[in-house]
Amino acid sequence: PRTCWSRSARRPAPEKTTVADLTSRLSLQPVSQDDFEAMLALRIDAMQSSLERVGRFSAQSSRERLAASFAVQHMHHIVFDGDKRIGFISLKPEGDNALRLDHLYLRTGCQGLGIGEWALNWAKAQARQQGKDILVTTLVESDSNRFYLRHGFEKEGADGVDVHYRWRVSAEGVC
């Protein structure tokens, strides 16, 4: 059977792969300038259907947006079994009190397996160490809106096709 780390992805059979088994095989690896094209293809794979839903998909715009925020010192590949790049995450400083989660993309078929949560937990750990909140912007009608709300982010506002969220490090453990 195909797996989420292959180009034509399907979810592994639930009875064969547990979330704990899957996430124990994940790691983060540094990004280099040479990775841009592969990361662009992955971003398009992850975002195209959401962008098409709001009438905003353009391969050229996707290239320009990624290029504008391509800061390798703040980016990491999400890797399965040490060599299969299945996503990427970017977390960079924004002002004195926050980190911007610019990118958290997973290859089609890798969503819903606990991989995004694993990566988000890494980002939250970085934020806790620095005593900073996390800011993220999503697309209206994207499945990522439910994901961030489910993981403790609060909606701060919206404009056009963008929805803005904040995870407050100070709210950790508060009922």
> Do the Cβ atoms of 23 and 121 come closer than 8 Å?
no
pLDDT score of 51: 81
C-beta neighbour count of 157 within 10 angstroms: 10
> Which residues does 80 contact at the CB level (< 8 Å), separation at least 6?
4, 5, 22, 25, 26, 86
**How far, in Å, CA of 134 to CA of 165, rounded?**
8
pLDDT at 21 > cutoff 60 = yes
**How far, in Å, CA of 29 to CA of 47, rounded?**
22
Interval 69-113: pLDDT, tens: 999 999 999 999 999 999 999 999 999 999 999 999 999 889 889
Interval 130-148: pLDDT, tens: 999 999 999 888 889 999 9
